[in-house]
Structure 1
Amino acid sequence: MNWEQLLSLRRKGDVNKRIRNEQNETRLGFDVDYDRIIFSAAFRSLQDKTQVIPLSKTDFVHTRLTHSLEVSVVGRSLGRLAGQKILEKHPHLSEIHGYKFNDFGAIVAAAALAHDIGNPPFGHSGEKAIGEYFKNGNGRIFKEHLRPKEYQDIIDFEGNANGFKLLTQDREGVSGGLRLSYATLGAFMKYPKESLPKKPTKHISDKKFGFFQSEKEAFMDVAQDLGLNQTRNGSDVSFARHPLTYLVEAADDICYTIIDFEDGINLGLISEDFALEYLIKLVKDSINTKKYNTLKYKEDRISYLRALAINTLIQDAVSIFMDNEENILYGIMDTSLMDKSKYDAQIKDIISLSVEKVYKAQEVIEKEIAGYKIIADILEVYTDALVKKRNLTASNYHHLLLETLPEFYRRTDLSLYEILLNTCCYVASLSDSSAVHIHNKITGKQL
């Protein structure tokens, strides 16, 4: 893979190549990507989607939206720092083509901003709940009517694949979704493969999948334009990651490691003594002890340590990226950047404590259980109505139900796979509160 091709400014529908030297510096194409994402309805819905604590009424607990904004800020720093070093190593990118270090920051920031845009309500349990309905719930009746990869798309419903769908899918009068640059779409794709074969290797990019069968053509267009290395031949589509995806992933890893931990502290699930012990181990080489000792309030002490920890991990991630740049460009870097961190032991200690004290907290578990029931019931009602309408057996009740769906999701002049996937994507588009509200409506609990 080569950087000039990987930094493609092309958007779906372009006839001519977009040249970096011809870009308007006041509003670069990669900056437009960021703007389009942040003004999208799908991004706005993240303000009421779970990061860790579902349906939390506490102001200082992160939602998917605040998490995404923070990941984007960290991603911008990672991209700019790496961009400086890449341009030093490959000066023709700047001297001949006009690329600047800010370009790398803008691409990573935009991709990081969108990294959770396809995630369902109720956190990662929402993904599992959608898949579970079709794998072990009433939705399993559809298995015999779908191709293996279509069925796998649904039973392993994946927020990353749904995100790619949201960013690229055509709608009437709107071709190419948000029409982002291919460089940003490439950096967004953490798992550039189909749902099958499932986890064929231990390579980090094979851990999950990144596009549904409905977006296969769009995915291939992006991958081929960027010159991503194809890693599997035959009928199974799989490519190496875009190099900047490693920085997007690192930004996410850094934020959830440190900030989910901070949420646990602010909620009182993790004691300050534990927090100080674990964070100080991570920042012992950069902490200003005199300054730290002047901080009177717990929030200020935690905030100071959090900022130092994030900066420490940013510097480490950029160093790892550049040390492995050649392997990354060849597509043979098989782990995340943070898996190679010199702070790996400290990171694992923090994550382990977060799992024990935060992710497995009673409040989290109870709300995830409720989320399973809510999602299954919504899927049951709408798939039944849509399939019966497609089969011309819908009752008046079913027609009334379909009137409550957004118009885009009411279509039944589609394949069964497309109808089921669209229904999953509708459920995934809901915020936590709207999912609860709709569930109350369709079960008669609220008029």
Structure 2
Amino acid sequence: MNWDTLLSDTRLGNEIEIPYDQTKYAINEFNKDYWRILECFSFRQLQDKTQVFPLDKNDLVRTRLTHSLEVSSLAKQLVVMIHKNINTYITKNVYKLYPFSAKHAEYAAEIVACAGLLHDIGNPPFGHFGEDIVHSWFENHVDELCYYDEEELRTISLRKKELRSDLQHFEGNAQAFRLLTKLHDVDSEYGLNLTSAVLNTIVKYPTDSLHIEENSPNVCIHKLGYYYADEILFQKVVGNTKTFFDERHHRHPLTFILEAADDIAYATADLEDSYKKGLFTLDEFIAFFEKQIEAQREKVQNDLVKRSYEIINKLKEYRLKENESKNKSKNKSENKSENESENDLTSLNDWRIFQKWIKYMRHWLLYCAAYGFTNHYKEIMEGTYHSEILSDTFHEMTMKILKEAMKTFTFPSANIIKLELSAEIIIEGLLERFVPAAIDWDVKSGDRKTKAKAEKKLMTLIPENYKKAYDKNKSNDKEHNLYLRLLLVADFISSMTDTQAKTLYQEITGINN
């Protein structure tokens, strides 16, 4: 791979018109992408989609929107660091093969900033819980998704493996590619009409549903990257970036950076929200962290154990200094507010300490990610690197501990459990109503001579631009058209915010707010 083609600013649709001489102003195609994304309705909807915690209007926990902004910023910072590393540490022979100039770095930073904003745009309501519910529902019901065709006097069902597998492996990443290239109706027949480099970067898993290997050492094939329905567009994109060679698709190098930024944001910012929600104390976190280190001592190199201990000791150091400072201030103060208790002061103190430590931890992880990319630069550019760039770095184990902390302290919380239960009821309820309506919509079915009025009305709720995408892609193959109608329901449900999904479910089931 080489950066000249990887940073392709070619679009699937026509170029975007600008009403002035672009040579006078420093605006490039990736700048245009950035503003198109900010103006995009689906991007703004992320404000009302769960990141980890149920959305609380009186709290400042992160939403999908704020998370995406953080990932965008972290990814851009990583490119800056990586460019510096490559020009400092890469051997001349490797650099000669894969030069990464200042101009390349400038464009790459803009591309990952765009990709960071978009990386979760295809996720359905209620975070990853919603994603799991959709593909589990299709997995359990795929054999029932059929209708009797009057013209051919036979039952039309999903028999082709690729069609069944797509629905059974529903994935927010694949949905993002579909949303951006087909479902948006702006000024192009190709959705938002973004550059090929940005579109290729958001595809974390460049594989179809038939070649997924969840337990493979190659992380690039762990999940679905694009649907069968969108394969032609995906091939056009990778044709522009030249990431298809040796008879297979390869992950775009910038995708490694995007994925690292996403992991860092999740492992630090979301953990910070968990602390703010009172799900653990500083003492509990320190004890948990040290216990995790000891549990891994026999399995990992001593250097990783040492680095993880250095990190948790930094948290202890911050606490010690803060407490010393607090005690000095307390001795100098003569009066104390009646409403200010010692517990309140300690709690506020610990919150400041944890925030400071999280920022320190985030910088360390950025450093490790930049090192990881640089250290495996040649393999990444050759398409032979199949791990995440935080692997085999000083804080690989630390990252695992931070993620384990989320599983231990956050996901068992009552609010998260309630979110999972309500998400299951809402999303399954919507699927159970819209899927039967879609199955024999636009067909002559002998199952029911007169389709129920309620089902006809349900289909009017699906946006017209989504139906236009269906009309444009349908063919004479009735099985394929059935698959497209089922994708139409997935498109519709994925497009909703948490509030929209909840409200619609209540409205169509007659449940009062």
- If the length of structure 1 is used for normalisation, what is the TM-score? 0.88
The answer to whether the 8 Å contact 1:190/1:205 transfers is yes
Count of residues in Structure 1 that have an aligned counterpart in Structure 2: 435
Write the deviation string for residues 338-393 of structure 1: whole angstroms up to 9, x where unpaired. 22221122222221121011022232122212211211111121222222332344
SS at match of 1:193: coil
Q: Which residue does 2:331 correspond to in 1?
A: none
Match of 2:339 in 1: none
Whether 1:397 and 2:480 are equivalent positions in the alignment is no
Paired position in structure 1 for 2:211: 197
Deviation at 1:160, TM superposition (A): 0.2
Q: Distance in 2 between matches of 1:182 and 1:112?
A: 15
> What residue number does 1:437 align with?
503
Structure 2 residue aligned with 1:265, among 275, 279, 282?
275
Match of 1:147 among 151, 160, 180: 160
* Contact 1:54-1:123 at 8 Å conserved across structures: no
* TM-score normalised by structure 2 residue count: 0.78
Q: Which residue of 2 aligns with 1:184?
A: 198
Distance, in Å, in 1 between the alignment partners of 2:461 and 2:234 is 32
Structure 1 residues 354 and 243, CA gap change in structure 2 (3 angstroms)? same
1:287 shift after superposition = 9.9
Partner deviation per Cα, 1:125-161 (whole Å, 9 max, x = no partner): 2112111222214874349425211111111110000
| Residue 387 of structure 2 corresponds to residue 387 of structure 1 | no
2:412 to 360, 371, 388: 360
- Aligned partners of 1:133 and 1:390: how far apart in 2? 23
Q: Alpha carbons of 1:23 and 1:360: their partners in 2 closer, same or farther (altered >3 Å)?
A: farther
Cα deviation digits, residues 70-108 of structure 1 (max 9, x gap): 11111110012213344666489677xx71533221111
Q: Contact 1:12 / 1:179 at 8 angstroms: preserved in 2?
A: yes
From the superposition, tell whether residues 288 and 27 of structure 1 become closer, same or farther in structure 2 (CA, over 3 Å): farther
The code of the aligned residue for 1:282 comes to: I
The 3-state SS of whatever aligns with 1:5 is helix
Q: Is the 8 A contact 2:286 2:312 kept in 1?
A: no
Distance 1:47 1:321 in 2: 31
Moved more, 409-418 or 197-206: 409-418
Give the Å deviation of 1:261: 1.2
Give the superposition deviation at 1:170. 6.0
What is the CA–CA distance in structure 2 between the aligned matches of 1:337 and 1:218, rounded to whole Å?
28
Contact 2:13–2:188 (Cα < 8 Å) also in 1? no
Q: Distance in 2 between matches of 1:40 and 1:126?
A: 22
Q: Which residue of 1 aligns with 2:28?
A: 28
* Secondary structure, aligned partner of 2:188: coil
Is 2:176 the partner of 1:163? yes
RMSD: 2.9
1:131 to 123, 128, 135: 135
Q: How is 1:299-338 mapped onto 2 (pairs within 5 angstroms)?
A: 299-338=351-390
Structure 1 pair 375/321, CA: closer, same or farther in 2 (3 Å)? same
Which consecutive residues of structure 2, in runs of 5 or more, have no partner in the other structure?
Answer: 16-21, 147-155, 290-307, 327-347, 445-449, 475-480
Amino acid at match of 1:157: F
24 and 132 in structure 1: CA distance in 2 versus 1, 3 angstrom threshold: farther
CA deviations 1:168-224 (Å, max 9, x no partner) are 116665222222221212221110110112217420101101111111011101112
Deviation by residue 1:281-306 (Cα, 9 ceiling, x = unmatched): 43757998597565863332222111
2:429 maps to 377
Shift of 1:34: 1.9
**SS of residue in 2 equivalent to 1:340:** coil
Structure 2 distance, partners of 1:372, 1:170, is 25
Contact 1:229–1:330 (CA under 8 A) maintained in structure 2: no
Q: Is the 8 A contact 1:8 1:226 kept in 2?
A: yes
Q: Is the 8 A contact 1:153 1:212 kept in 2?
A: yes
Moved more, 193-202 or 425-434: 193-202
Counterpart-to-counterpart distance in 2, 1:198 and 1:58? 41
User: Are the counterparts in 2 of residues 264 and 358 from structure 1 also a CA contact under 8 Å?
Assistant: yes
Give the distance between the partners of 2:493 and 2:281, measured in 1 at CA: 36
Cα distance in 2, alignment partners of residues 94 and 203 from structure 1: 25
SS at match of 1:62: coil
CA 1:108/1:129 → structure 2, altered by over 3 Å: closer, same or farther? same
Distance 1:2 1:134 in 2: 40
1:427 maps to 493
> Secondary structure of the equivalent of 2:103?
coil
Letter in 1 for 2:191: G
Q: CA separation in 2, counterparts of 1:185 and 1:280?
A: 40
**Which residue of the partner structure matches residue 63 of structure 2?**
63
CA distance in 2, matches of 1:369, 1:103: 43
| Change in CA separation of 1:179 and 1:141 when aligned onto 2, cut-off 3 Å | closer
- CA deviation after TM superposition for structure 1 residue 240, in Å: 0.9
Distance 2:321 2:14 in 1: 54
1:253-277 Cα offsets, whole Å, 9 max, x none, are: 1110111211111111121223456
Give distance in 2, aligned partners of 1:311 and 1:434. Answer: 37
Give distance in 2, aligned partners of 1:72 and 1:406: 29
Partner of 2:237: 222
2:189 is aligned to 175
Partner of 1:407 in structure 2?
464
Counterpart residue number, 1:40: 40
1:103 to 93, 104, 107: 107
Aligned residue in 2 for 1:18: none
Q: Deviations over 1:383-440 (max 9, x none)?
A: 2222233234423222222233322345675411111101101101111111110000
- Preserved contact between residue 115 and residue 198 of structure 2 (Cα < 8 Å): yes
Query: Quick one: structure 1 residues 388 and 186, their matched pair in 2 at CA, closer, same or farther if it must change by over 3 Å?
Result: closer
Q: Quick one: which of 117, 120, 126 aligns to 2:124?
A: 120
**Runs of 5+ unmatched residues, structure 1:** 16-21
